[in-house]
Amino acid sequence: MASLKEKIEVVKRIFPEGDTAIIAALHEVQNEYGYLHPEGVKLISEVLGYPEDWIMSVASFYHMFHKEKVGKYHIYLCTNLSCMMAGAYEILKFLKENVKDEKEFTYEEVECIGLCDGAPAALINGTPITNLTVEKMGEILREPEKFVQKQEGTYYDLKDLYD
């Protein structure tokens, strides 16, 4: 298993042109820790040569990077127009009333996840869930492992293409 430093070094090989490696490196850190752990940000700084505050300023622009720990299951619930009109706010109300263990579940409203044809929709640990109902969200909260697909691929998996 590759170390986080090795993964960031591969990112640097894949994206050798200036700032282009920062976002990919941030993804690697978040994949490793579940959020942008300060040690991971420090490692990005060492490998890519950017100040840590610059790296975090880049991260702050993107909603998908977490500056603090999130639950084991992280839910992005879309509340854009299509999802809202199809019942997303009822699902959001349900989440507010039923999510009690923030180490297990965290959720947040997002503007759009590009799944309008399956509204209301959410991403749970990156797995798209469409045609949500309050009942289906209840099932997700009871048995999330039935819905979440493990996503293991990283930029490191592409290293052989860039040797």
Instruction: Name 13's Cβ contacts closer than 8 Å, sequence gap at least 6.
Output: 159, 162, 163
pLDDT tens digits, residue range 4-36? 999 999 999 999 886 889 999 999 999 889 899
Q: What is the DSSP string of 66-107?
A: -SS---SEEEEEE-SHHHHHTTHHHHHHHHHHH---TTTEEE
Helices (H), 2-87: 4-14, 20-33, 38-48, 52-61, 81-85
Q: Answer yes or no: are the C-beta atoms of 155 and 24 closer than 8 Å.
A: yes
pTM (two decimals) = 0.79
**Class in CATH terms, 73-144:** alpha beta
Hey, where are the domains in the chain?
4-67, 73-144
* Cβ within 8 Å of residue 130, ≥6 positions away: 115, 117, 118, 119, 121
The one-letter amino acid at 143: E
Report CA 70 to chain centroid distance, whole Å. 10
Residue 102: pLDDT band (50, 70, 90) is confident
Question: pLDDT tens, 36-94?
Answer: 999 999 999 999 999 999 999 999 988 889 999 999 999 999 999 999 999 999 999 99
From the candidate CATH numbers 3.30.910.10, 3.30.70.60, 1.10.10.1590, 3.30.1600.10, the one assigned to the domain spanning 4-67: 1.10.10.1590
